[in-house]
């Protein structure tokens, strides 16, 4: 054990200096694919409520398809399969596309739960008092939906961070692939992979703790929601603030990573 | 006709490889459910920090580190220590241990969702804590935990594709080998995706059915 720590300690500076660019690439990949996933998810959500049946069916098929196929298969199809049809992307772009496409299905589900959690009366009331549809969305729908949507979105982001490691298999030079190269150079697999595991943990764990800290705070003051969450303190709902009565339904939890 | 034969030539080894995928999935599922239930019940019965903290640490470590890292530690790291696991064993063990961490949270949420009066009533009529757990708590939690467990099973089948990285001969690994020999990338990877679709879609439909049934009040 002491020997293990000594070896790790003496090698860590060199390894870390090589892992640093890989870490930036991992973070960049996480953020770019998350942005892409949110973009696609918004389009999916708009398609889902469309009045054209064909579009709704297409969205449902897209979600079924990319929820049933592993990320690795999607990445291989994009990176190795598409060049056969004459379209080729760099490894990083393929990784962003693959992760973005797969995660858009999860995020679409989260967004749907967020929109459905609001009672229809909210927007009807806003329109009835003369707000325009845009300001209704900006001032009534969005602030309430964000409360519901933020925690599961952060959970999805953590999950996405972990899944960027899969891109090592299509030769994106991120943390996992770099550590594997270091392994084949130093022949110290246990040390390097424990080190990389700790790096991932150092990013993902604080985020998990933050979500756990944030979630009850977002639901504070919403009577039914706190009761549903099992916390004991009950506040008397005030008649003047309807948001206390119309508590959001909690979205379906993100499937276990 | 020739085209069909061409497709079959690739489809047959891939379907055979799906057998390994299914074996790994079932093995890992078994490990994950038994261990997850064990951890969650331990935490349910013993609230002392000595029991709770190691379990909590285990759950946090396995949920916040990528599966691939865990698989590499198990496969390459343990071999370095002299404990050489076969790739399929490492796959079942690795995915099972990861699954146990997330399922133990699922079970815990299930236990906590029950009103504490259930347990108190069972103890009041003279059941031992263990009997109360087995006869009163557990049967009621299945209704809540079954849909997440189903979702986990679907996720698990997809995650077995990662095992290709430690050379277990499942679908993605076989596909990769076929491609190296024939360069038919598009066809082979599409076939692999179709096989995963055939495995996962019926299962996720069943889960959705279970979910709607669990959502309706009894």
Kindly tell me if the per-residue pLDDT of A142 is higher than 50: yes
> How far is CA A90 from its chain centroid?
23
Using pLDDT thresholds of 50, 70 and 90, give the confidence band for residue A226. Answer: very low
Mean pLDDT of chain B: 89
- Nearest-neighbour CA in chain A from B161: distance (Å): 7
Q: Give the separation between CA B164 and CA B85, rounded to whole angstroms.
A: 15
Task: From chain A, pick out residues whose CB is under 8 angstroms from the CB of B85.
Answer: none
Nearest C-alpha in B relative to A155: B64
**Model-level ipTM above the cut of 0.85:** yes
CB contact under 8 A, B69 and A81: no
Q: What is the pLDDT of residues A68-90, one digit of tens each?
A: 999 999 999 999 988 888 888 99
Q: Give the separation between CA A62 and CA A68, rounded to whole angstroms.
A: 10
Q: Give the separation between CA A36 and CA A190, rounded to whole angstroms.
A: 35
What is the distance in angstroms between the CA of the first residue and the CA of the last residue of chain B?
Answer: 55
Kindly tell me if the per-residue pLDDT of B99 is higher than 50: yes
Prediction pTM value: 0.84
CB contact under 8 A, A168 and B193: no
Q: What is the pLDDT of residues B15-68, one digit of tens each?
A: 999 999 999 999 999 999 999 999 999 988 888 888 889 999 999 999 999 999
State mean pLDDT over A106-118.
88
pLDDT of residue A63: 92
- Nearest-neighbour CA in chain B from A199: distance (Å): 9
Q: What is the pLDDT of residues A143-152, one digit of tens each?
A: 888 888 999 9
CB contact under 8 A, A158 and B64: yes
B-interface mutation test, from A66, A81, A229, most B Cβ less than 10 A away: A81
Nearest C-alpha in A relative to B203: A68
Q: When comparing pLDDT for B36 and B10, which is higher?
A: B36
Task: From chain A, pick out residues whose CB is under 8 angstroms from the CB of B155.
Answer: 255-257
State mean pLDDT over A25-38.
96
CB contact under 8 A, A189 and B103: no
Q: Which residue has the tokens 């009835």?
A: A128
Nearest C-alpha in B relative to A66: B197
pLDDT of residue A221: 61
A186: buried, middle or exposed (CB in 10 Å: 19+, 13-18, 0-12)? middle
- Within 10 Å of residue A139's Cβ, how many Cβ atoms? 12
Q: Which residue has the tokens 């299930």?
A: B110
Task: From chain A, pick out residues whose CB is under 8 angstroms from the CB of B66.
Answer: 162-166, 176, 200
Tell me which residue in A180, A189, A257 faces B102 most closely, judged by beta carbons.
A257
Q: When comparing pLDDT for B213 and B135, which is higher?
A: B135
- Tokens representing B97 are 């241990």
pLDDT of residue A230: 42
Using pLDDT thresholds of 50, 70 and 90, give the confidence band for residue A105. Answer: very high
- b/e for A45-68, b at 16 or more Cβ within 10 A? bebbeeeeeeeeeebeebbbebbb
pLDDT of residue A254: 56
B141 Cβ contact partners less than 8 Å away, ≥ 6 residues apart: B107, B110, B111, B113, B114
CB contact under 8 A, A188 and B80: yes
pLDDT of residue A141: 85
Q: When comparing pLDDT for A30 and B185, which is higher?
A: A30
State mean pLDDT over A88-114.
93
pLDDT of residue B184: 84
Q: When comparing pLDDT for A118 and A96, which is higher?
A: A96
Kindly tell me if the per-residue pLDDT of B195 is higher than 50: yes
Q: What is the pLDDT of residues B70-92, one digit of tens each?
A: 999 999 988 888 888 889 999 99
Long-range contact list for A122-129, CB < 8 A, 24+ apart?
A122/A246
CB contact under 8 A, A70 and B70: no
Kindly tell me if the per-residue pLDDT of A242 is higher than 90: no
CA-nearest of B165, B33, B36, B23 to B92 is B23
pLDDT of residue B152: 94
B29 Cβ contact partners less than 8 Å away, ≥ 6 residues apart: B96, B99, B152, B153, B156
Q: Quick one: CA dihedral B85, B87, B89, B90, positive or negative?
A: positive
Q: Which residue has the tokens 């029991």?
A: B51
State mean pLDDT over B2-24.
87
Q: Give the separation between CA A72 and CA B13, rounded to whole angstroms.
A: 19
CB contact under 8 A, B192 and A190: no
Using pLDDT thresholds of 50, 70 and 90, give the confidence band for residue A229. Answer: very low
Kindly tell me if the per-residue pLDDT of A249 is higher than 80: no
Using pLDDT thresholds of 50, 70 and 90, give the confidence band for residue A232. Answer: very low
Judge whether A108 and A41 are in contact, CB under 8 Å.
yes
């Amino acid at each position: 054990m002491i020997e293990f720590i000594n070896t790790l300690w003496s090698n860590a500076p060199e390894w870390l200096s090589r892992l640093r660019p890989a870490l930036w690439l991992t973070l960049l990949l996480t953020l770019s694919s998350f942005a892409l996933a949110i973009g696609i998810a918004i389009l999916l959500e708009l398609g889902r409520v469309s009045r054209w049946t064909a579009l709704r069916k297409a969205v449902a098929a897209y979600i079924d398809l990319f929820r049933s196929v592993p990320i690795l298969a999607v990445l291989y199809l994009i990176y190795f399969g598409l060049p056969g049809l004459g379209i080729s992307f760099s490894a990083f772009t393929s990784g962003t596309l693959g992760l973005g496409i797969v995660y858009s299905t999860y995020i679409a589900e989260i967004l749907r739960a967020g929109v459905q959690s609001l009672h229809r009366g909210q927007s009807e009331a806003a329109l009835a008092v003369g707000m325009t549809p845009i300001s209704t969305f900006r001032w009534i729908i969005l602030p309430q939906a964000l409360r519901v949507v933020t925690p599961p979105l952060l959970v999805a982001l953590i999950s996405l961070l972990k899944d960027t490691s899969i891109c090592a298999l299509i030769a994106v030079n991120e943390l996992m692939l770099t550590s594997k190269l270091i392994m084949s150079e130093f022949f110290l697999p246990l040390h390097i992979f424990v080190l990389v595991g700790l790096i991932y943990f150092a990013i993902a764990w604080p985020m998990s703790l933050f979500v756990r800290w944030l979630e009850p705070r977002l639901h504070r003051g919403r009577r039914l929601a706190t009761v549903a969450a099992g916390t004991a303190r009950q506040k008397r709902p005030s008649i003047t603030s309807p948001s206390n009565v119309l508590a959001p339904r909690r979205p379906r939890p993100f499937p276990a990573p | 006709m020739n085209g069909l034969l061409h497709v079959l030539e690739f489809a047959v080894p891939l379907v055979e490889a799906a057998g390994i995928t299914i074996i790994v999935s079932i093995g890992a599922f078994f490990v994950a459910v038994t261990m997850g239930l064990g951890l969650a019940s331990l935490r349910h019965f013993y609230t002392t920090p000595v029991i709770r903290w190691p379990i909590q640490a285990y759950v946090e470590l396995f949920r916040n580190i990528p599966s691939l890292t865990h698989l590499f530690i198990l496969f390459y790291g343990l071999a370095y220590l002299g404990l050489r696991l076969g790739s399929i064993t490492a796959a079942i063990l690795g995915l099972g241990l990861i699954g146990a961490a997330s399922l133990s949270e699922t079970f815990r949420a299930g236990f906590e969702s029950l009103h504490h009066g259930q347990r108190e009533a069972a103890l009041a009529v003279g059941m031992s804590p263990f009997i109360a757990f087995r006869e009163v708590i557990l049967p009621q939690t299945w209704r809540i935990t079954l849909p997440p467990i189903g979702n986990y099973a679907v996720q698990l089948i997809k995650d077995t594709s990662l095992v290709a990285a430690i050379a277990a001969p499942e679908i993605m690994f076989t596909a990769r080998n076929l491609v190296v020999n024939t360069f038919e990338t598009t066809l082979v990877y599409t076939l692999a995706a179709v096989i995963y679709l055939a495995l996962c879609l019926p299962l996720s439909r069943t889960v959705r059915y279970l979910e709607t049934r669990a959502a309706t009040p009894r």
